[in-house]
Structure 1
């Protein structure tokens, strides 16, 4: 099966007062390229993050974002008594001067700016936080992988339909090819007979046979047809093969090579076959191959 290089995943993981949000985006690219945004405190984990991503994604541009939020304990905060007293004094002045009802609660006072101070953040232990980060990251990567598989299946269906269209045109070309030499022979005989009638000359039949044979050799496209059909079979086999677990063989690159060879064989057929119907079929095949080329740009 084929894998797309496009996917998105986002996962949340909460454990031990730690909440992690991992976001993974993947788009198509000729090579593997990874960018990680985890903050300076977790920069040491980037090699581990890359290792997890590479287990599943082996080609394309991948962006990973890791956001970590830690639940604060009570000792991480302190009430600024000076600021609280200042607010209280101002409220009393308002009450004495303007007779504003004094119905202020402690909760409302604590919400005022500067009343509650956050203490110095404790040092982050990236190694201790890694299991939670890894769990969120793997869940996000799994979502990306599922999206890539779904899109890959849709692409495979479309690619197979286009390969079938090429195969049909190729069969039509193959059936038309023998008629090219026959048509040339008929036209040649017609011209020879006309010349013989006008100028009273004779032409050896062997010369006509030799000329037709030379023309047939120049227009012979049987080898190109066989090779193009073989490329189509290989194209289908690659699409039906499971993804390489080691990531050493890129289906996308193989398919890209085959489309180049298919285009080359089709060009040769078009240049050798001196026939309108074959030329029409060649144009259709080349147009379809271009569609194949565009689609496989997103195949891993």
Structure 2
């Protein structure tokens, strides 16, 4: 199954008044590169989240963004009531008596005052957040993979079209190749006979056969056609696979081998029709290579 490397997945949950959010974005990359963005108090989870991503994804530049907004029991357990009381008393005592009765204190704003909510308690924070975030990461990965598969279906259609057109051009080359030697023999025979007729000499057939044999050996492209056709068969096997294994890197290597064979065919053949077909084949290989850069 073909998967794209670009995608997005997110999952959110509220637990005991605290809001948790995990977002995953991925774009193209030759390898798997994971960046995890966490609140400072949860930084110890970075390695574990990266490892979990590595089990689900194989290729791409992946950015994981974790958000955690504490609330309810989580904040209540960490409020320093003595510090809060002292801050409120200081505010009230600092107000002019003429406006004291008309002023109100916003408790939500009070919680942002340094020292009101308990100090560094990252171990407790990790204990609360870890199980929730690991579940959300799995859910976000599921959605990311679903999006990758949807985009992969579009890539599959294009890759299949390029491969089919390449096979048609290769069949043209294969059908034309045997005729090239025959045409060369006929042209050579006519040319030599014309030249010899001017001087009153006759053509030695053995010389003609030897020259044609040398040309046939030098321009033989049967092996290259067979290898390129084999690569093309492997290409269709890869894009049609249902095992879910990543094929992007293999496709990239395979296109290099295809291009090598196409270049050899072009360099060996002096036939214009074969050359035109090979130029089209090379163009299709380049388009496959471009799309393979998007495949996981």
Shorter-chain TM-score: what band?
Answer: 0.7 to 0.9
Equivalent residue runs for 1:274-293 within 5 Å: 274-293=270-289
Secondary structure of 1:11's match?
strand
Offset of residue 242 of structure 1: 3.0
Find the aligned partners of 1:190 and 1:114 in 2 and give their Cα distance.
100
Offset of residue 117 of structure 1: 6.6
Offset of residue 136 of structure 1: 1.8
Q: 2:76 aligns with which of 73, 77, 90?
A: 73
For each residue in 1:256-298, what CA deviation from the matched residue of structure 2 results, as whole angstroms up to 9, or x when unmatched? 1111111011111111111011110111000110011111112
Q: 2:118 aligns with which of 111, 121, 132?
A: 121
Aligned to 1:206: 206
Cα 1:218/1:114, change in 2 over 3 Å: closer
> Which 5+ residue runs of structure 2 have no aligned equivalent?
none
For each residue in 1:82-121, what CA deviation from the matched residue of structure 2 results, as whole angstroms up to 9, or x when unmatched? 42354463537xxxxxxxxx9x5x7xx2249977775133
Aligned pairs, number: 283
CA contact (8 A) 1:83 1:114 kept: no
For each residue in 1:7-65, what CA deviation from the matched residue of structure 2 results, as whole angstroms up to 9, or x when unmatched? 11122111123211111111221222211111221111112211221221122221111
Q: 2:267 aligns with which of 267, 271, 287?
A: 271
Aligned to 1:53: 53
Secondary structure of 1:224's match?
helix
Aligned to 2:253: 257
Aligned to 2:188: 188
Cα 1:38/1:114, change in 2 over 3 Å: closer
RMSD of the alignment, in Å?
Answer: 2.4
Find the aligned partners of 1:117 and 1:293 in 2 and give their Cα distance.
53
Equivalent residue runs for 1:141-160 within 5 Å: 141-160=141-160
Cα 1:11/1:260, change in 2 over 3 Å: same
Equivalent residue runs for 1:16-95 within 5 Å: 16-71=16-71, 72-73=75-76, 76=79, 78=84, 80-84=88-92, 86-87=94-95, 89-91=97-99
Which shifted more, 76-85 or 20-29? 76-85
Cα 1:90/1:174, change in 2 over 3 Å: farther
Cα 1:142/1:75, change in 2 over 3 Å: closer
> Which 5+ residue runs of structure 1 have no aligned equivalent?
93-101
Secondary structure of 1:2's match?
coil
Find the aligned partners of 1:114 and 1:240 in 2 and give their Cα distance.
58
Cα 1:286/1:113, change in 2 over 3 Å: closer
Secondary structure of 2:56's match?
coil
Secondary structure of 2:68's match?
strand
Aligned to 1:242: 242
Give the TM-score, by structure 1 length: 0.86
Cα 1:33/1:276, change in 2 over 3 Å: same
CA contact (8 A) 1:263 1:289 kept: yes
Aligned to 2:138: 138
Give the TM-score, by structure 2 length: 0.87
CA contact (8 A) 2:252 2:289 kept: yes
Secondary structure of 2:30's match?
coil
Secondary structure of 1:167's match?
helix
Q: Does 1:110 align with 2:105?
A: yes
